[in-house]
Chain A
Amino acid sequence: AQSVSQHNHHVILSEAASLELGCNYSYGGTVNLFWYVQYPGQHLQLLLKYFSGDPLVKGIKGFEAEFIKSKFSFNLRKPSVQWSDTAEYFCAVNARANAGKSTFGDGTTLTVKP
């Protein structure tokens, strides 16, 4: 069975600080990886995804993530956060052999102080 672990439950940063949110997954086969964001009062939307190819993927709003296969990790980064990045962030894994069902991490709440 696939599982996802997000290391930080709540992160508080000041504007312009750099961000790294950890995500590790557990699955031995080929996976697809996602980061979703949920702004306050809104539904989840895709930040970025990795299917294959370049392990460094870029998403919307200046976010990027790096897939490190040997570490089963897919950490999310942003060089300089803004107040508008305050949201909840979810990492998700989708195993190709698992009928496309996604497993989500517990989420990380990011608060950016102006």
Chain B
Amino acid sequence: NAGVTQTPKFQVLKTGQSMTLQCAQDMNHNSMYWYRQDPGMGLRLIYYSASEGTTDKGEVPNGYNVSRLNKREFSLRLESAAPSQTSVYFCASTPRTGAYEQYFGPGTRLTVT
């Protein structure tokens, strides 16, 4: 039981390049989330998926797109990376939306030059 896994762990992009961050969970959770973590700013929600087939914007969705590929997988895409997107990205999941703690993946450290 691996929990929440993320790939890659590290990535360096040039401005304007695109990439997809992958996230998968093996806990049969319905809800999945993407956050970014910046120094002194905590975690900010980018997008979330309450259940398979649905996605919604969070607090900071601009410049990102998501796909809930199936119940297990939730990917985050940067179409045209910008230096402001340099951050650590965390994926998380919960059994469903509501009164549940979040289970986090190990994070992806992204640098955009």
Contact = CB atoms under 8 A, between A and B. Distances in A.
Contacts of A104: 35, 42-44
Nearest to A4: B42
Determine the interface band of chain B, counting residues with CB < 8 A from chain A.
20 to 34
Chain B CB within 10 Å, residue with most, of A4, A36, A102: A102
A90 B100 CA distance: 16
B2 interface: no
Nearest to A50: B99
A100 interface: yes
Main secondary structure of the interface of B (DSSP, over half): loop
Interface residues on A, range: 20 to 34
Given A43-B105, A45-B104, A100 B97 contact: yes
B106 A43 contact: yes
A102 B42 contact: no
Interface string A85-114: 000001010101001111111110000000
A34 B103 CA distance: 12
Given A42-B106, A43-B106, A99-B50, A105 B100 contact: no
Given A100-B94, A101-B45, A101-B48, A49 B40 contact: no
Nearest to A105: B42
B43 A100 contact: no
A44 B90 contact: yes
Contacts of A105: 42
Nearest to A49: B101
B105 A96 contact: no
Interface of B: 31, 35, 40-45, 48, 50, 56, 58, 90, 92, 94, 96-102, 104-107
Interface of A: 4, 9, 32, 34, 36, 42-46, 49, 51, 90, 92, 94, 96, 99-107
